[in-house]
Amino acid sequence: MIVTLGVAEVPAGRPLAVRVSEALTLAVCELEGSYFAFENKCPHRGAPLAEGELAGELIVCPLHHFKFSLKTGRCVLPRHLKLRGFTVSREGDRLSIDVIDAAERAAADTVPAGTPGPGG
């Protein structure tokens, strides 16, 4: 599934919460003209990251102030924590965010047993 929004909707210097479904909300951020999207849940305790702040290349969790790199999604400390990120593409003044998760992608790439492959 692709979620689209306007570049102008993403405020400078703070994350934007974008609700995709009942189960998924994104935190969308801009850094020096590049855009990043993560699941809006801190992997530590589930706090909404879009209620946090941006500090340079970092998004800061509002609950315990854990800092995550916008470029990698990795927590500064402890390094084992990582945000679930999504690919963001920009075309003109529109952003497209690919929110298909890894399990859905693997299922889409799998041919059921007994199904003829290409060419029959």
Is the residue at 109 inside a domain? no
Total structural domains within the chain: 1
b/e code 58-68 from CB counts within 10 Å (16+ = b):
bbbbeeeebbb
Is the residue at 72 inside a domain? yes
**Model pTM score:** 0.83
How do residues 29-66 score in pLDDT, each as one tens digit?
A: 999 999 999 999 999 999 999 999 999 999 999 999 99
Question: Confidence class of residue 113 from pLDDT cuts 50, 70 and 90?
Answer: low
Is the residue at 118 inside a domain? no
Is the residue at 115 inside a domain? no
How do residues 70-111 score in pLDDT, each as one tens digit?
A: 999 999 999 999 999 999 999 999 999 999 865 565 555 555
User: Does residue 119 have a pLDDT over 70?
Assistant: no
Q: Is 104 helix (H, G, I), strand (E, B) or coil?
A: helix
Residue 20 CA: distances (Å) to CA of 26, 69, 73: 7, 23, 20
CA end-to-end span of the chain, whole Å?
29
Which domain, by its residues, includes 32?
A: 2-103
Is the residue at 28 inside a domain? yes
Domain with 65 in it: what CATH number?
Answer: 2.102.10.10
Is the residue at 86 inside a domain? yes
